Structure 1
Amino acid sequence: MACAQNESNTPVAQFGCNSTCGDVQIPFPFGMNELGCYADHWFQIECRNHTPYLKSIGLEVSSIDASEGTIDIMHPIHRWNCKVGHNATQEFVDLRGSPFVYSQVSNVFISVGCNEVSFLLSNGTQVSGCVSICDDKNEVEKEIEIDNCNGKYCCVTSLPLYLSEFNVTTESLGNNNDDCSYALIVQYHRVPDYMRGLGINYRRSWNSLTDLGGLKNVVVVLEWEIHNSSIRLPSSGAGYCVNTNITSSRNTHSGRKCYCDTDPHGNPYIQGGCTNDYGYDGGQGNKNRSKWAIIGVFSSLGSIILLLGSWRVFKVVRRRIIKNRKEKNFKKNGGLLLEKRLSSGEVNVDKVKHFSLKELEKATDSFNMNRVLGKGGQGTVYKGMLIDGKIVAVKKFRVQGNVEEFINEFVILSQINHRNVVKLLGCCLEKEIPLLVYEFIPNGNLYEYLHDQNEDLPMTWDMRLRIATEIAGALFYLHSAASQPIYHRDVKSTNILLDEKYRAKVADFGASRMISIEDTHLTTVVQGTFGYLDPEYFHTSQLTEKSDVYSFGVVLLELLTGQKPLSSLRPNEAKSLASYFVLCVEEDRLFDIIDDRVIKEGDKEHIIAVANLAYSCLELNGKRRPTMKEVTRELDEIWKLERKSNNAQQNHHEEIEHPAIEYQHPWVADSASDISPSNLTFTSESEIMHILTE
């Protein structure tokens, strides 16, 4: 008996094991029948009538990719308020404790219905959700496409990391909503803007609500890793294995994952499952070279010359293959599109550097999992140290053919020069996955620091005011002082980093948009984070500078209240922090929601002034919201008055509680003269621009 092989004659399954069920290939560590054919019970495949099922969770398998570490399953749909006969009971899938999680990159969460909100739960906590609204269901378009799910009749949002549970609750937003609603996780890859109109359809769509109601399941992508040491992973050859934390955020690593060096379709989990671009033949080439060397030594000098010449040709061909691969990766990662943007003058090439792949691999210890700083929807960020000793952050994008976010962030950050915006140092396009290099920000993000407070480093009222002023100043700069107006589009506390002196740094510009100065808004597919998303933008798809103002208002509320933007502990009508805050203000119980430390340390008038500012930022009508320029001026004035009040009361103390934090005005150095409201204003807009760009 021989090992099961694929079309390229590389092994797929273990020796003597079946490698197919129907039309689906079953690569190891998955397997059927005998125990030795699969890693453990989690990876056992049951073949029923030529259809494979993942026995541990009882769902049908449509494909398995060992090289990518993914498995596509046929996943159930959650139905709510549907008639009997339409599977009205809620479907539940539990992957907890398994080596599988829902892929954040390859899937989205969709809700379809009229005037309802669907929440995705994990361990009883709401981790994602979206709202779909419609006035008249008869006016709904017959064709429902994910790209058009902007809140009217259907909505779409991303999955959280480490999701291992499909548990949905749906609630009606009206009193008499008897319409059938659906919520589902589904595989999805968005079409890049620059590829639209080419006739390539990447979208998954349903023709009508009736068709969606008739579907039993949809394709969902799961990522997996090897949890235990029950199987012996290959330690040599053309493959390699690394530590991973795909299924757990608490540990440095929760399992192992293997890759082939150059074979995109190989199976790195079995010996000989990987080939390379240079014709790997299990070591036979080395034996032949040794044989010819011996013959050359004992026969003639000509044979030795021939052998050396062959080796030289081999090295030349190898270098050419590597060069071609780098050029291919450069084009694949948007290199040609990026060159076009460079030649158009959109990117300031003097500010950025092109790093070699070798340089970044050395800096990050070959992208060791122990160097991971964080993971997000766009990719993974690693900590690295360059040859000169400089610490940097290296972001590896999860673009999978969609390079729009990568190029967008690269172009936008190359235009920005502000002390409260994370600085882009360079990029690398040689690897299959593009890389961006940023300055390293050591103290994490505002969300972690605010909601997981360390008593040794408390978030004081003065610090909160300063951070709020710095964020506002950075957004004002993006809206008004950059070469072209830039709308961030995803302002939230997790995208606010804190440097060594706990100064704010706005980050993550993958969703941002740069618009012409003449334009007042930009119509685009709705994108943002639930809890921070501007309701007006959500319903109209028209992105304006006021959309960032609303999101900043939610961040300002987090600083004021110490509460998270979404919480299931609050009443149903006020699960979002913004709604709860507005309710408290309108019922004249503002200080019921303000953080105790803020009440204790802050001047009451100043707290009310900041609360009023947040309230105005959260106006449902964007035209009534202040601009970031007005917000920045107001916060700057409040902060200066608060510091003057503190200095007057405690002349013998330092004005900053934590000695490592250097309080400095976001734009200009503090003046020795007294601070009063009259000298807090700028003489002209040009003066503001000059100060901001110094």
Structure 2
Amino acid sequence: MVVVGCSVQVNLQSGEDSGFVSSCSTICPGTAGSGSRNQHSKYVWTGGDCSGLHCCQANIPLGYSFYHLHGSSSAGNNKVSVYVTDSVYSSSRNKFGATIFPEALPATLDWVINESECPANGSAPECLSANSSCQGSVSSIGFGVRSRGYVCSCSYGYQGNPYIPGGCQDMDECKGDTNPCDGDCKNTVGGYTCRCPSGYKGNAYVPNGCEDINECEEPETYSCYGTCLNFPGTFQCRCPNGTNGNPFAKGGCMIIRNSNTGLTIGLGVGIGTSILVVALGAPIITRKIKLRKMKKMRQKYFNQNHGLLLKQLISQHADIGERMIVTLRELEKATNNFDRARVIGGGGHGVVFKGILDLHVVAIKKSKIMVQREIDEFINEVAILSQVNHRNVVKLIGCCFETEVPLLVYEFISNGTLYQHLHVEGPESLSWVDRIRIALEVARAISYLHSAASIPIFHRDIKSSNILLDDSLIAKVSDFGASRYVPIDQTELTTAVQGTLGYLDPMYYYTGRLTEKSDVFSFGVLLIELLTRKKPFVYRSVDGDSLVSHFEKLLATSNLAGIIDLQVMEEEDGDVQELATLAATCTKLRGEDRPTMREVEMTLENLFVKKKVVECVTIPGRNEVQTHISTQHVVVSTSRQYTMEAEILLSASYPR
């Protein structure tokens, strides 16, 4: 396709949806905004490079059955030529192929069939549609030469492609702006009918040709024998005041006789009956209205909270489970109508209730703030957790969208958070072995989210209060309200900054670019918290440094004893330095200097295995029992498998 002209763009479209397949645009420098129509004449194409200056060209992809050309120009009175050729333009010479064309190109969009006339019967073998015919045509092929032939066209009342069987379809003349009918239009095969609407008369084929019929001027024709009122397109007929009956029949309106006694009795009986019906039916009606209103409100919230989207997600992923959508009635029953005594905790995204659902102890999360951002985070958490299956990620059982604020139902983790276990009063907290194991389990979960999930997930809020611990102190990563999906072909996202100060990646905080290394930084802060038992979001050194900065300074000067937890110093066996070095590497300022979570997981795996081997060969002493229990705990926790029977027995043991 070759286009010659100033400030013009031509788009080539094809397919049933008129999809875009090619485009070409030209410019003529110095002419924009000049206001002169003739200024373009100074910029005439002289056969130079056809790359956009007064001339452009574009390839036409083959394989489509038809094409549409759409052109637009911003240069006012501008002469534009569009050509189609099967040769490639050469910029060195004004030519196509081997033939030189000083003023024209070899082919245009005008064409005919053969060089003969239509057959006598008005049909031709090329006209394959049943509702098509042959028409003579003369085509200009350039240089003053004209070619005679014929083309096919659809018959009157049909439109489409006459060159294929069934290509000419009945044209619905009643649709579109070209419809001349000003009344009621009815489409027929190959044509249409047009008539004035009921109550109107005149010529429906001309604008405003239909006029209102005044039925009151012709009472005999329209059988109105009472008081007649005319309206556009219709009329109203009723008995005069003081009469009643049938106004459409002669003598149908009768004079009303006075019967005050009968009227009084009738009114008395009617009013008494009405009062009795209202008194008996009011409670039932009120209850039905209330139930209907509640049902309508729940459906409104269900749609508002993207419940239909979750239904579609479940239908596409059978592994999510049929019990994902839970009704509000079930959750009210499970929590004793959300009794405040059932509240077991709360986080940055909601309050958590304890309940019994289908003989299972569950945790039900309800948002604190009723704003759309919080609701969107709940929906985001549902979409993420419904497709995540990992032993160290909290399991989402179901959700309810029938309230203004969505509710999420999780497996109940009975042993609180890592933060609660770590920051307790007194000198002793979690054992050093448990801390290493918990760090490894959290690393496994985050590594799974980054590299093993079907779509990579960045958590964005790794911290000790978002790590739940079960009865065996197995770690479960929770609170995915701030998490984000990441397309596989991307390594970062630019988002509004979310997270917890103290754990937040400084590069993400300043640039807004979220990467997997942002989670690595937060995990590194968590390792420092496990080593020191210091709270990252409130800690300040004597010099005013944050926990991360102070920790790295002490590590660089080999003075970690000044900040490491005393319990860790007593229980560790030469592996604190290795874990501290890993934490410092994870909290490097530049993201590219930090390891991946997979590398962190492998480092912790090696450290933990070495720790287990050392404990197995340690000579029993005063801590023999405790060491034995810790080792046994590690072995069980790394190989524990859950079954449905075990779940039922476990949930049945909780008090109700």
Which residue number corresponds to residue 600 of structure 2?
Answer: 631
Residue deviations 1:528-578, cap 9 Å, x none?
11000011111221111110000000001111111111345512441x211
Structure number with bigger Rg:
2
Matched, 1:394 2:388: no
Asked if 1 retains the 8 angstrom alpha-carbon contact of 2:520 and 2:594, the reply is yes
Asked if 1 retains the 8 angstrom alpha-carbon contact of 2:460 and 2:518, the reply is yes
Q: Residues of 1 paired with 2:559 and 2:293: CA distance? A: 69
Match of 1:328 among 297, 300, 312: 300
Which residue number corresponds to residue 181 of structure 1?
Answer: none
**Which amino acid is 2:537 matched to?**
L
Match of 1:646 among 586, 603, 615: 615
Matched, 1:596 2:566: yes
Asked if 2 retains the 8 angstrom alpha-carbon contact of 1:445 and 1:494, the reply is yes
Which residue number corresponds to residue 512 of structure 2?
Answer: 541
Change in 2 beyond 3 A, CA 1:428/1:641: same
Structure 1 length normalisation: TM-score? 0.50
Q: 1:657: how far off?
A: 6.3
Q: Residues of 1 paired with 2:505 and 2:494: CA distance? A: 14
Matched, 1:433 2:402: no
Secondary structure of residue in 2 paired with 1:663? helix
Q: Residues of 1 paired with 2:434 and 2:638: CA distance? A: 16
Which residue number corresponds to residue 476 of structure 1?
Answer: 447
Q: Residues of 1 paired with 2:431 and 2:619: CA distance? A: 16
Match of 1:527 among 493, 498, 508: 498
Secondary structure of residue in 1 paired with 2:386? helix
Q: Residues of 1 paired with 2:439 and 2:461: CA distance? A: 16
Which residue number corresponds to residue 359 of structure 1?
Answer: 330
Which residue number corresponds to residue 128 of structure 2?
Answer: none
**Structure 1 segments unaligned to the other structure (5+ residues):** 1-294, 671-694
Asked if 2 retains the 8 angstrom alpha-carbon contact of 1:346 and 1:411, the reply is no
Residue deviations 1:298-321, cap 9 Å, x none?
x88x98677666665544433322
Q: Residues of 2 paired with 1:666 and 1:535: CA distance? A: 35
Which residue number corresponds to residue 584 of structure 1?
Answer: 554
**Aligned pairs for 1:539-578 within 5 A:** 539-574=510-545, 576-578=546-548
Secondary structure of residue in 2 paired with 1:385? strand
Secondary structure of residue in 2 paired with 1:375? strand
**Which amino acid is 2:292 matched to?**
R
Which residue number corresponds to residue 622 of structure 1?
Answer: 591
**Which amino acid is 1:370 matched to?**
A
Secondary structure of residue in 1 paired with 2:633? coil
Match of 2:350 among 376, 379, 385: 379
Secondary structure of residue in 2 paired with 1:471? helix
**Which amino acid is 2:587 matched to?**
L
Which residue number corresponds to residue 257 of structure 1?
Answer: none
Q: 1:655: how far off?
A: 6.8
Match of 1:318 among 290, 296, 299: 290
**Aligned pairs for 1:222-237 within 5 A:** none
Change in 2 beyond 3 A, CA 1:394/1:454: farther
Q: Residues of 2 paired with 1:401 and 1:522: CA distance? A: 22
Say how many residue pairs are matched: 369
Residue deviations 1:555-603, cap 9 Å, x none?
01111111111345512441x2111111111222122221111111111
Q: 1:399: how far off?
A: 3.5
**Aligned pairs for 1:117-196 within 5 A:** none
Change in 2 beyond 3 A, CA 1:382/1:656: farther
Higher relative contact order (CA 8 A, sep 6+): 1
**Aligned pairs for 1:496-515 within 5 A:** 496-515=467-486
Match of 1:417 among 389, 400, 406: 389
Asked if 2 retains the 8 angstrom alpha-carbon contact of 1:352 and 1:414, the reply is no
Secondary structure of residue in 2 paired with 1:522? strand
Structure 2 length normalisation: TM-score? 0.52
Q: Percent identity?
A: 45
Q: Residues of 1 paired with 2:309 and 2:450: CA distance? A: 26
Asked if 2 retains the 8 angstrom alpha-carbon contact of 1:502 and 1:661, the reply is no
Q: Residues of 1 paired with 2:580 and 2:287: CA distance? A: 68
Change in 2 beyond 3 A, CA 1:502/1:661: farther
Q: 1:334: how far off?
A: 3.0
Change in 2 beyond 3 A, CA 1:666/1:466: same
Which residue number corresponds to residue 407 of structure 1?
Answer: 379
Change in 2 beyond 3 A, CA 1:547/1:598: same
**Structure 2 segments unaligned to the other structure (5+ residues):** 1-267, 642-656
Which residue number corresponds to residue 464 of structure 1?
Answer: 435
Which residue number corresponds to residue 115 of structure 1?
Answer: none
**Which amino acid is 2:295 matched to?**
K
Q: 1:632: how far off?
A: 0.6
Q: Residues of 2 paired with 1:666 and 1:478: CA distance? A: 21
Asked if 2 retains the 8 angstrom alpha-carbon contact of 1:647 and 1:655, the reply is no
Which residue number corresponds to residue 608 of structure 1?
Answer: 577
Q: Residues of 1 paired with 2:635 and 2:381: CA distance? A: 28
Asked if 2 retains the 8 angstrom alpha-carbon contact of 1:479 and 1:486, the reply is yes
RMSD (Å) for aligned C-alpha atoms: 3.0
